[in-house]
Structure 1
Amino acid sequence: MREPLGGEADWPGRALVHDLGACLRFYSRLPVPALPGEPDPHALPDFGRLPRMLPVAGLILALPPALVLLAGWRIGLGPFVAATLAVALGVLTTGALHEDGLADVADGFGGGASPERRLEIMRDSRIGAYGGVALVLALALRIGALATLLDRTGAGAAVGLVLAAVLSRVAALAPMVMLPPARPGGLSAAVGRPSRATTGVAIGLGLVVAILALPFGLPFSGVAGMVLLAALASLAVTRIAREKIGGQTGDVIGACQQVSEIAALLALLAAVRA
Structure 2
Amino acid sequence: MTDLRPLDGGDIWDITVVSEPFTTGSEEVEAAVNRLQDRAHEQHWDLVIGLTELPLHDHEGRHLLVETDPDQRTAVLSLPALGGLRMHSRARRAVRSLVSGMADPATDGERHVALPRLRGRWRLLLGMVLANRPWLLVPGLKSALVAALATGAVATVNSTVWLLAGSMSWWRLVVATIASISLVVGWLVIDGELWDRPDDDSPQAKQRSRLYNASTLLTLTVGVLICYAALYVVNLAWAYFVLDPSVMGGYVDVPIGHGDLFVLAWFVASAATVGGGLGSGLESDEAIRAAAYSKREQDRRERLAGDD
* TM-score interval for Structure 1 and Structure 2 normalised by the shorter chain: under 0.3
Counting strand residues as a fraction of each chain, which structure ranks higher?
A: 2
Say which one has the larger Rg: 2
For normalisation by structure 1, the TM-score amounts to 0.26
For normalisation by structure 2, the TM-score amounts to 0.24
Counting helix residues as a fraction of each chain, which structure ranks higher?
A: 1
* Structure with more relative contact order (C-alpha pairs < 8 Å, separation 6 or more): 1
